[in-house]
């Protein structure tokens, strides 16, 4: 899945330069390279997949407890913008209530990234839509008051 798994230091520098040259901030590049929240949760309470108009796909895994997102992971088949956005957004929603996660805006995710190229803003939208879809699906399947108050 990850196309940076077997790269050496030289390649890494080249990738950093390339991304920086195309308008990615250091922070966004780190999210893209470190991929801290990339993966799956085997006993996830909710798994939701969404493919954007661009063809990129995200699959999110949520572990929920008492209406709160206890843990989250995401698999991304997509561009650096998609990967960076997804990593930042997962960091943002971890520990939040479902309501708080529903209130997260594209702008909130953008702030976590500092800067990504203008034409990559839709990668943020895809990320946010994936999160919202997952929570809505969970709520739909578990009634309107998931986890209780
Ligand atoms: Fe599809 Fe970035 S180009 S999410």
What does the pLDDT read at residue 143? 80
91-117 residue pLDDT tens: 999 999 999 999 999 999 999 999 999
Q: What is the spatial distance between Cα 63 and Cα 42, in angstroms, rounded to a whole number?
A: 10
Reading the block at residue 111, the tokens are: 């702030």
- Cβ of 84 below 6 Å from ligand 1: no
pTM given for the model: 0.90
Domain boundaries, the chain: 2-141
Q: 56 CA distance to ligand 1 centroid (A)?
A: 5
- Structural Rg of the chain based on CA atoms: 15
Q: What is the spatial distance between Cα 112 and Cα 131, in angstroms, rounded to a whole number?
A: 16
Measured in degrees and rounded to the nearest 5, phi and psi for residue 54 equal -75, -10
Reading the block at residue 110, the tokens are: 């953008």
124-134 residue pLDDT tens: 999 999 999 99
- Catalytic annotation on 79? no
State the fold for domain 2-141.
Sufe protein. Chain: A (3.90.1010)
């Amino acid at each position: 899945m990850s196309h940076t798994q077997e790269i050496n230091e030289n390649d890494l520098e080249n990738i950093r330069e390339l991304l920086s040259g195309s308008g990615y901030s250091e922070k966004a590049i780190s999210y893209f390279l470190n991929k801290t929240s990339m993966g799956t949760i085997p006993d996830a309470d909710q798994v939701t997949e969404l493919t954007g108009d661009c063809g990129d796909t995200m699959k999110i895994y949520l572990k929920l407890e008492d209406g709160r997102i206890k843990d989250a992971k995401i698999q991304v088949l997509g561009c650096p913008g998609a990967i960076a956005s997804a990593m930042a957004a997962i960091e943002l929603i971890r520990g939040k209530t479902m309501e708080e996660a529903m209130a997260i805006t594209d702008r909130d995710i953008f702030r976590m990234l500092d800067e990504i190229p203008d034409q990559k803003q839709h990668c943020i939208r895809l990320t946010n839509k994936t999160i919202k879809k997952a929570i809505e699906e969970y709520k739909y399947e578990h009634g309107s008051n998931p986890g209780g108050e």
